[in-house]
A and B are shown apart, each in its own frame.
Chain A
């Protein structure tokens, strides 16, 4: 148990922070309840997938600036395909859009591997390309979403006999956990997952140990594209439309990755930390709204909290290393 706490110290700290924030929220707004928690999870959803997309490439020692644009493109593609189509057609749209994300991500990876241009440059270029492509698909926000798809993130999961507990389990949370787990857990336990950490930690050492560096990098970007496509779908599911101009997801994803304890240099960290970090950041936004803080100050407060947490974390890590 202590070993687990030590290994997951950062995540545990973030969880404590989340609980503290939750208590503060309860103090500010005593009526804050399960329905409001459901709203929080729905707000978290697109950010969480964006962060997952960013986390996996950062662990592999890269960075993906095209996350937001990829979400916009997949979102408008899904929304325009479902516009005027039957409910059943959406069953085909979802895997198509996910596959599209996977392929686009792989293209990112291949460009980086083949051209040897730094990932920050390649993904910056694809950011513009994908943004343009999104505007080609839909010149203005529009499209539609299948009702059943929309319903998958509305309401709570009904556990028979336990209405109090089930009220606190929004469907959006289940969807998030399921989709992250079915990709992340098998990956983390596989040789491929180990290779991703290895190339992020030291590419040369990984290469000398027989890790197929190029292939691993391409797969990491492909998975990032897959997560971004999930984020795009989440956007369409929550708004009911597709918007071609990317939202604030790129910078938010990098912020949550850092706050989540993933080293920007690569090779260190997990997925749980950044996801909890997203919850923390969204809850901070909720509290600032509940407190009716001057809106021009909120962005400064959000930034200041992030810097403070990361600095405090680094300080604790340093102290524990010394002792």
Chain B
């Protein structure tokens, strides 16, 4: 017994050290979030990634989420409310790159770290962590044009007019198009990143009877394949994003050739990590951090194996399967699916 008693101070010391260790990583920050598209699978994954990463980091006491369908003026209001709430950092997916500049400037002046995720903003003091949207479109478009033999007619189904992610993707698409002079865009539409709208648009186009050799989509993909199958149109190569539904189709729909380009919604979680790094005094070398996309296709055996390994039928079909980003997110799959933030 005496022997054990002698260990008491040691244990106490260890406990003290442990408590110091815990307190240095203690939750101390409040993070505000502003998002202006509600009810979209990708954005919902982004919000859940933000919640999961805030929880997993252990450094966030509270998340203050302003998440509704609104315009740039509404986002100005939300960001200013977050400034009033005295948050330490704001993670924002901008409704417009220039339209929210004044509020972001006010936030920086108030000492708040501003991180824009998914799309760029014009405010120079804001940090940006985003998927490389230009490369996203270039990779997919180039693959598609090669797949149809370097010539033919393609349908170009874009995102939302005016969104910077859309204009960046347009640059990448045009870059690939310039490399294939015999490829023509027969139809160009904005899906607004809405599943129902995109499906209606492709059905309308199929009804015109115009021939086409391939379809490039800005992530509204599984409903396009559905439309082709339902209208019994010959399947053409389709490029989409890594949404769970589309990845599943690439594995299962007979005769469908296509490619999924990664565009992780978990970028929201990466935004939280970046914001915490800056709050802890570790600023990135560049104001803009880009996450590079990957392309998974089912035209080769190797690609098929990759697609099989990433498929995840347990996810909602509109959720990208890349639910984490190496080096940027630390939460588990259960945490992001639970979609619970600190204190919830």
Contact = CB atoms under 8 A, between A and B. Distances in A.
Interface of A: 29, 31-32, 36, 39, 42-43, 46, 139-142, 154, 235, 238-241, 243-245, 247-248, 282, 285-286, 289-290, 292, 294-296, 298-299
Contact of A141 (B67, B74, B99): B99
Given A241-B72, A289-B66, A43 B80 contact: yes
A264 B153 CA distance: 54
A29 B85 contact: yes
A142 B77 CA distance: 19
Given A238-B73, A241-B98, A299-B68, A285 B81 contact: yes
B101 A240 contact: yes
Highest count of chain A CB atoms <10 Å: which of B67, B77, B101:
B77
Contact of A238 (B67, B82, B83, B102): B102
B196 interface: no
27 contacts: A31-B86, A32-B84, A39-B80, A42-B80, A43-B77, A139-B162, A141-B96, A238-B73, A239-B76, A241-B72, A241-B98, A241-B99, A243-B72, A243-B96, A243-B162, A244-B161, A245-B71, A245-B161, A247-B73, A289-B66, A289-B78, A290-B81, A290-B85, A292-B63, A295-B67, A298-B68, A299-B68
B72 A286 contact: no
Nearest to A38: B80
Highest count of chain B CB atoms <10 Å: which of A29, A282, A296:
A296
A43 B69 contact: no
A238 B81 contact: no
A139 B158 CA distance: 13
A295 B65 contact: yes
A29 B99 contact: no
Given A141-B99, A141-B162, A240-B99, A286 B84 contact: yes
Contacts of A299: 68
B62 A292 contact: yes
Highest count of chain B CB atoms <10 Å: which of A239, A245, A247:
A239
Nearest to B47: A295
Q: Is the interface of B mostly helix, strand, loop or mixed?
A: mixed
A299 B67 CA distance: 10
Nearest to B62: A292
Contacts of B101: 240
A142 B162 CA distance: 8
Contacts of B82: 289
Contacts of A140: 161-162, 167
Contacts of B162: 139-142, 243-244
Contacts of B78: 289
A55 B162 CA distance: 32
A86 B85 CA distance: 38
Nearest to B77: A43
Interface in B90-148: 96, 98-102
A39 B72 contact: no
A54 to B, nearest CB: 17
A303 to B, nearest CB: 13
A271 to B, nearest CB: 22
B83 to A, nearest CB: 7
Given A39-B81, A43-B77, A289-B66, A247 B86 contact: no
B70 interface: yes
A289 B85 CA distance: 8
Given A36-B80, A42-B77, 6 more contacts: A239-B98, A241-B96, A243-B162, A244-B161, A247-B71, A248-B70
B256 to A, nearest CB: 32
Contact of B64 (A36, A43, A235, A289): A289
A294 B38 CA distance: 13
B40 to A, nearest CB: 13
Contact of A240 (B84, B102, B167): B102
Interface in B201-223: none
Contacts of B66: 289, 295
A239 B65 contact: no
Contacts of A296: 38, 67
A23 B130 CA distance: 40
A239 B77 contact: no
A243 to B, nearest CB: 6
Given A139-B161, A247-B70, A292-B62, A36 B99 contact: no
A282 B63 CA distance: 21
